[in-house]
Structure 1
């Protein structure tokens, strides 16, 4: 476990040393931190050999724009860390793609001057669960737990698990597993889980794709009862098949009144290979789900591979990796997707995002443009996959939030010889809700 409190210099010298230390800390406190981001950087074949966790300046008005402020190499793993999440009490976690480190806690602290720094990476015991994806914290029977989806589960071809962890000690409390081959016909099952979201005593996880991208692809979401920590229903979300694969639901958002008081509860689901966003209405009183329906079609609108749900106080943002845009919707109108402004045109692989204000007070959105760093065979990248080889701009683009105007771009492939897998706000800043 890491110490996330402020680190102060030891005051063991004279009064002069004390005064110097105070002035240094005061100067550091004037440095704006809301525009600094946590990023996960990944090695690229022929360009770099190591993965890392870094703090990067993203204010386009700063002379340090694109500069790495602090960086720590990830453990020697074939596959990198994947998604960053802050716990309610401010601890920083990351899921991981490598079976040797599928979940980790990242040390984020301050040095003696008050400057933020990454202090280390601790891989956690997952009880054999592999390929961590998403994390959320919610309560079961009055106790708060950390819930983590593991797309590889315990390693079976039809695997996939949801790990329940003690929110303080990181100890595995329960492994939620329901393999389709074992549960019986028409029984709820969990398969390749990725996205996760919850409302009241119902949690929903998506069925995306086997980690090897070949063994199997899902087309369902599964409902888990948070009272019993067991799956109670599996719902199909399968429509068009524009690339010949099952829909592959990826991220999910349980739209709920705690996000905005006018929201009618429903589950919103992005299907990676179906190019669609689905809505599944929820009757909170009866605890029942209605028929799933498509509320956005990428085939009809010229977009593909919808990925993330993010939001601020008034809008919901959905990233579409192709052609690389973020669409925006009126938060109060959910689960209906009512446009609230112009598309934000980013780069291929538009994925994660954060929100902040620049030095002059301009509201901006920073978008990480990259999907898994699955590369191009022309660059001698052995992970070439035809369908998604082009979804890797390896950039973070910064845009005016109101107009969508692109203000600046940092290209990590060109500048640091690495791909950028994830972006998150420093010390938890950067977004209001996610999942």
Structure 2
């Protein structure tokens, strides 16, 4: 009888433990805990951490779980798949792409379990992901196969993470239609269109881009390469692109890293492409540079990060192509990715990850938590001095922490 009881106990324990290691569970709420990709400043392995970001919580700023990926891996962007059951991080080094397995600890808090490298073929320097509803996902590789004017897009099977195809279009073959140093990616499945930006060579010196390229989502053929700069010689480095879709006005938006601006292109129903890009916000007029990420909430507000001097600008997009500036939030130098949530008392806040590639004057290494109604900074976590790490990106532990990003 005692042996049967022990066996039953072990079976229940095993089932319970196994359940804790299942894929991500979007139905379980831990809304103020977040995943951050980080780089070590002490020569230790880079990795991913779980951190509490509610300034009202007693453990604000505490890291409760870590997963080391390796020295020099430089994890870069965290993503969920279509149903938020699986989580991935891209990386500038290491294996360039990893699937991350998560679970919960004995207190029900998010816990990082392990990382599985994904074969990216010849493609190097992983940047952004986009998951489509038909079982594919797309990834930009800023380094491509490693050439001085390289870059590629990987197409993967979302069920088994197998690389299906590598999309390449060298500028040497066609200087009018090409893919080079791709970073940002956005897809409009209804229109069958995909757009990628041309940013900068991974070594940050060999070359820079000033275009965005539109592709057919199914044939992978290039439809057009657009200049997103004041002139052909203006190396503006478009970094993120967003094809507005669904209920939003049908435009393409792009931010320019070195230009520090926001650009827009209207969708043309006759050509089934976008028309030329024009600048709709000049960051220099506001003392801003290094325009980076774009996030849109469900009330037609656009949040854009400017790494220099570290600001978040909030725009009304109800009357595109006109942008109406509503608010400006103070973050820290290197203001980059964002995550949106509510504090324990119900305050609506945005957490801003302040660091861009550990570049001088753009690498505060903090996370600012800002009340989006008052603009007041409610709390700041100094990861640089507290933990000896720099945050690279941020994402919710309960699924995506924004309404629309790419």
Question: Do 1:255 and 1:334's aligned partners in 2 also have CA atoms closer than 8 Å?
Answer: no
Question: Do 1:60 and 1:407's aligned partners in 2 also have CA atoms closer than 8 Å?
Answer: yes
Could you say which residue in structure 1 is the equivalent of 2:225? 234
Match of 2:204 among 206, 213, 222: 213
Question: Do 1:354 and 1:366's aligned partners in 2 also have CA atoms closer than 8 Å?
Answer: yes
Could you say which residue in structure 1 is the equivalent of 2:8? 12
Q: CA separation of 1:189/1:407 partners in 2, compared to 1, >3 Å: closer, same or farther?
A: same
Alpha-carbon offset, residue 328 of structure 1: 0.6
Structure 2: tracts of 5 or more residues without a match? 1-5, 18-27
Alpha-carbon offset, residue 429 of structure 1: 4.0
Question: Do 1:11 and 1:17's aligned partners in 2 also have CA atoms closer than 8 Å?
Answer: no
Match of 1:248 among 231, 237, 243: 237
Q: Does 1:368 align with 2:353?
A: yes
What CA deviation, in whole Å up to 9, does each residue of 1:169-224 have, x standing for no partner? 00011100000112x353x1000000001122111000000001111000000001
What's the secondary structure of 1:343's corresponding residue? strand
Q: Does 1:39 align with 2:36?
A: yes
Alpha-carbon offset, residue 331 of structure 1: 3.9
Q: CA separation of 1:70/1:17 partners in 2, compared to 1, >3 Å: closer, same or farther?
A: closer
Could you say which residue in structure 1 is the equivalent of 2:315? 329
Q: Distance in 2 between matches of 1:297 and 1:129?
A: 34
Q: Distance in 2 between matches of 1:255 and 1:281?
A: 10
Question: Do 2:120 and 2:154's aligned partners in 1 also have CA atoms closer than 8 Å?
Answer: yes
Could you say which residue in structure 2 is the equivalent of 1:69? 64
Q: Distance in 2 between matches of 1:405 and 1:185?
A: 47
Could you say which residue in structure 2 is the equivalent of 1:6? none
Q: Distance in 2 between matches of 1:245 and 1:417?
A: 37
Q: Does 1:342 align with 2:327?
A: yes
Could you say which residue in structure 2 is the equivalent of 1:128? 122
Alpha-carbon offset, residue 145 of structure 1: 0.8
What CA deviation, in whole Å up to 9, does each residue of 1:78-113 have, x standing for no partner? 241110011112210111101x31111111122455
Q: Distance in 2 between matches of 1:240 and 1:302?
A: 21
Could you say which residue in structure 2 is the equivalent of 1:401? 372
Match of 1:145 among 136, 150, 161: 136
What's the secondary structure of 2:30's corresponding residue? coil
Question: Do 1:265 and 1:284's aligned partners in 2 also have CA atoms closer than 8 Å?
Answer: no
Structure 1: tracts of 5 or more residues without a match? 1-9, 22-30, 375-388
Alpha-carbon offset, residue 427 of structure 1: 2.7
What's the secondary structure of 1:300's corresponding residue? helix
What's the secondary structure of 1:333's corresponding residue? coil
What does residue range 381-392 of structure 1 map to in structure 2 within 5 Å? 389-392=360-363
Match of 2:149 among 138, 146, 158: 158
How does the TM-score come out when normalised to structure 2? 0.90
Q: Distance in 2 between matches of 1:73 and 1:162?
A: 27
Q: Does 1:97 align with 2:86?
A: no
Question: Do 2:45 and 2:72's aligned partners in 1 also have CA atoms closer than 8 Å?
Answer: no
What CA deviation, in whole Å up to 9, does each residue of 1:385-427 have, x standing for no partner? xxxx110110000011111100000000111011111111113
Alpha-carbon offset, residue 50 of structure 1: 2.1
Q: Distance in 1 between matches of 2:355 and 2:142?
A: 19
Match of 2:388 among 409, 417, 422: 417
Q: State the aligned residue count.
A: 387
Q: Does 1:193 align with 2:189?
A: no
Q: CA separation of 1:119/1:239 partners in 2, compared to 1, >3 Å: closer, same or farther?
A: same
How does the TM-score come out when normalised to structure 1? 0.84
Alpha-carbon offset, residue 239 of structure 1: 1.6
